[in-house]
Amino acid sequence: MLLWMGILGMAVPNFDVLIVGAGPAGSSAAKAAALKGVEVALVEEHPRVGEPEHCAGLIHERDLKNLGGYPERLVEARVREVKLVVGSRAELWLKQDFTVLDRRGFDEFLALEAVKAGAKLYTGWRAEGMEANGGGLREPVKVKVKDVSGGGGDSYVASKMVVGADGFKCGVGRWFGIKPEMELATCIQSWVKPNPLSSSRVMEVYLGREYAPGGYAWIVPSSNDTAKIGLGVRGVREPAIAYWRRLLERWKGLEVERVIGHCVPLSGPLERTYGDGFLLAGDAAGQVVPSSGAGIATSITCGGIAGEVAAEYVMGNLDEEEGLSRYERLWRARLGGKFQACLEIRRLLESVEPGEVEAIRDAFGHIGTLDFSPTKLLGPAVKLLVKRRSLIRLLPLLFKARRHGFF
């Protein structure tokens, strides 16, 4: 059980930094700001951090190592091979190292780390709007919060700085006049048993209009006997749940334990993720890998940067000319190239016609990894162009994937 703190009935509490949303971005921002010594409030609308779960909990091993330590108990499975099914005629096997996390437990772990650093966590409270301060720079704003846990009542929190980590709806950004233009994928995920995969070290990804138009489908091991099956779609006429039902028909005798739905932004980061008195991080800023919808690692990284910059801002330590733009400069220097490359990768993959799939399989099916050197790329690339000259447009994809990954 994580720390719960009530607001109702209190005099308007004042904080240096208010963070809305206790997902990976928000908790990371809260921890980073608290470690700087400022007063931090982390507000989460759900009664329990991590609920409902919003993704498969899949993270590349290299990203997980870069993020630091985590309890081993949060690992559900370790994937070492990916079976990529393209259309109805081609399969590629890729040697890639992923970790499947207990996403609910992982979010709780991150929030508890923020609390240990000194942040105050308020669960069951939804931030609904703000009142302008009418004052000068770094003057507190009043944010209205509503008790959604059943206790009833509204209250206010005052803060000099607000970090919006409240998901794709970008509520905080809208308070401050941001009009987010995001291309969203509608996602459905289910937990099923028994696990239909051949091994808990294998995951499967399905590309093609017949599976998930405008997106892809996945089956990820959750344990030896359970799995997560889901998909994300864009630009479709049918509800996403209809595609999910058809996907499940590929496996017989599955028991569906639960199903969730959510949306993921796939158009890359917002043009602007800061303004007077606010920063945006995670899904709220569009900081999601466009080619895969992955967002855990990028949210933690950008959230950490947001927390540090927010703290420096309220302490008056930022260069007056640069100000809060420092946040955008730092995260773009760290991840801007990856976001742009993966957006181009996604668009290139979406341009592949069914008749071109087999040529790709024949050229690259034997390599077994996406992390290969230019010398290994040369032979398959020539073979690919001999068979299908139209695929010359995909060559930049291979080099971008090698440099930035696609997940």
Same domain, yes or no, for 261 and 271?
no
Domain count for the chain? 3
The reported pTM is 0.90
Same domain, yes or no, for 144 and 192?
no
Encode pLDDT of 285-313 as tens digits. Answer: 999 999 889 999 999 999 999 999 999 99
Burial 218-227, CB ≥16 within 10 A → b, else e: bbbbbeeebb
As a whole number of angstroms, the distance between CA 406 and CA 258 comes to 29
As a whole number of angstroms, the distance between CA 323 and CA 318 comes to 6
Whether 69 is in a domain gets the answer no
Same domain, yes or no, for 308 and 380?
no
Q: What Å distances lie between residue 159 and 36, 133, 140, 266, CA to CA?
A: 16, 10, 5, 31
Name the nearest CA neighbour of 233 among 193, 286, 189: 189
As a whole number of angstroms, the distance between CA 43 and CA 148 comes to 12
As a whole number of angstroms, the distance between CA 101 and CA 104 comes to 9
Q: How many CA atoms lie within 13 A of 365 on its CB side?
A: 13
Q: Are strands 154-164 and 141-147 parallel, antiparallel or unpaired?
A: antiparallel
Encode pLDDT of 179-217 as tens digits. Answer: 999 999 999 999 999 999 988 899 999 988 889 998 999
Name the nearest CA neighbour of 223 among 106, 76, 59: 76
The whole-number pLDDT of residue 2 equals 39
Question: Exposed, middle or buried, 317 (CB in 10 Å: 0-12/13-18/19+)?
Answer: exposed
As a whole number of angstroms, the distance between CA 160 and CA 317 comes to 14
Pair of tokens at residue 390: 């139209």
The whole-number pLDDT of residue 377 equals 60
Same domain, yes or no, for 119 and 242?
no
Same domain, yes or no, for 136 and 200?
no
Same domain, yes or no, for 150 and 37?
yes
Q: What is the CATH number of the domain that holds 47?
A: 3.50.50.60
Same domain, yes or no, for 153 and 281?
yes
Whether 32 is in a domain gets the answer yes
Encode pLDDT of 255-296 as tens digits. Answer: 999 999 999 999 999 999 999 999 999 999 999 999 889 999
The whole-number pLDDT of residue 66 equals 84
Whether 4 is in a domain gets the answer no
Q: How many CA atoms lie within 13 A of 303 on its CB side?
A: 33
Peptide bond into 221 cis (omega under 30): no
The whole-number pLDDT of residue 152 equals 63
CA 108 to chain centre: 16
Domain coverage including residue 203 = 75-101+184-265
Same domain, yes or no, for 325 and 379?
no
* Domain stops at, among 241, 265, 289: 265
Same domain, yes or no, for 238 and 359?
no
The whole-number pLDDT of residue 86 equals 77
Whether 339 is in a domain gets the answer yes
* Domain stops at, among 318, 343, 368: 343
Q: What are the residues facing 204 on neighbouring strands? A: 83, 219
- Stretches in the chain below the pLDDT threshold 50: 1-9, 368, 370-372
The whole-number pLDDT of residue 198 equals 84
Same domain, yes or no, for 258 and 178?
no
Same domain, yes or no, for 23 and 163?
yes
The whole-number pLDDT of residue 137 equals 59
Query: Helix 374-387 vs helix 354-364: angle between axes, to the nearest 10 degrees?
Result: 140
Q: Which residues contact 135 (CB under 8 A, 6 or more apart)?
A: none
Same domain, yes or no, for 194 and 306?
no
The whole-number pLDDT of residue 366 equals 53
The whole-number pLDDT of residue 5 equals 45
Whether 21 is in a domain gets the answer yes
Q: What is the CATH number of the domain that holds 202?
A: 3.30.9.10
Whether 9 is in a domain gets the answer no
